[in-house]
Structure 1
């Protein structure tokens, strides 16, 4: 059974669709990274799933139960935008209020466990009024974890955290997915942390889910490759395929040839011997940030020869 399913989820504000016909699903143990520009609809989508907003159309199901408009589920934990922290209570008391509201059988032990898990054990008895931004973010995560939810929704969970805090939260989320089987949906701009954590990605653009990819597909798309530019692309391709039958060649939209698994010296030597003119021969390198900027519809990051990058060249698109 799927932990989370959204079918054709839509939310319109007057004439603008902030979320437009979005469908996605998460299985138990999935960690799904939601990527998009500011204003792409990421927070609105999470609010629809959490029951904070009613959808204009579409449905949300948590562990097989279809939720009504603005209905939440005890099997779903959320940290969306600013944590709902009462500054007049201690960190421990804030989490205890949530545990009591959920009617947990042993709330004190549950609260102690999640407070320790998010790294607030030493300050749990201090007033939340004096908490730093990072401490409040940890407290918000503790609130979301009360009751061991099957689905966790996190909006920018690394905000305000120092490097050690980021590492701790990342390891905690990985453990939740692996050990608890929790399905985690994360919206974040911190791509280097998502890269270490998620197994699937979704790219929101203008409210629509433009593409979904596995982590392996993203890794393939961002892998370095050799680029061959020639005025005689068909002949060059035939020569290279004959010389290197086990290599992978792709003709890009600008007629350059993308070569995987070969070095420039070997390719150049074969083309020179066959008298194929070569106007460019270089290694194309692109990191995950460049790749997602392209997918989000942003201006392409230009760094020397990367102006020829193929944003659709790696892996299949789910």
Structure 2
């Protein structure tokens, strides 16, 4: 019999994981399936891909195949030694007969579109089904939307089946509801909005990853939110109540007397409103009024004379 390199057929290394083999198989079958491919050898290629996956996609068959093919090259003629596959169970069939039957029928199955015998039918036949692949995309929202929820309309270019059953690229518009309490990196699942299936199988899903638009005032860490709050020198020095706009609305905040830039005020439970809300941290930023008038300059000069304040005396000479 002639040895066939199934790893080469699927374009994977011999060390590939089962998940990598499955992904390679799904990619190739979508590329060459006769229902969607214009490749002149689509039927033969699809049967070859199916044949390879039927072996490599099954752990027991793959182990037997690896043992059989150790040191062999594609196209090499060989005869397995007696009892080489006695440790494998193929439903009562002898291992030698199993692979001899597989390799002997592979070419005929490919030419007829029937696939390799004993592996559940060919992929070119009417019984082939495959669920559509999922689509992954990102959607950017404002922080306020994460607090309050929102509705968005998005447009995607995705493969769809036309009236003749062919797969074509079409623009698709969807209305998406952003629920209250979403966090960056969270994925929203839209069932059935992915790639179409084959052979009557259902479509995949659409997964939208939440991203936040940049905002100079806010920083998000998990469910906690950090907001920069500018305050006047007298508000920081004397203390007092100020109104602060936050993602959930304006709040009255008490500034403790003697506050400095960088001081954090914690508002418990006012972070992103998930089941266990995070906190909102207000970071004070003392902003000096400009000395842009004679009166303002006179006030600064008076402070310099009367307060004798040196902000650098604590750091040494």
- TM-score bracket, normalised by the shorter chain, equals under 0.3
* TM-score, normalised via structure 1 length: 0.20
* TM-score, normalised via structure 2 length: 0.21
Which has the higher Rg, Structure 1 or Structure 2?
A: 2
Report the structure, 1 or 2, having the larger helix content: 1
Return the structure number with greater relative CO, CA threshold 8 A, min gap 6.
Answer: 1
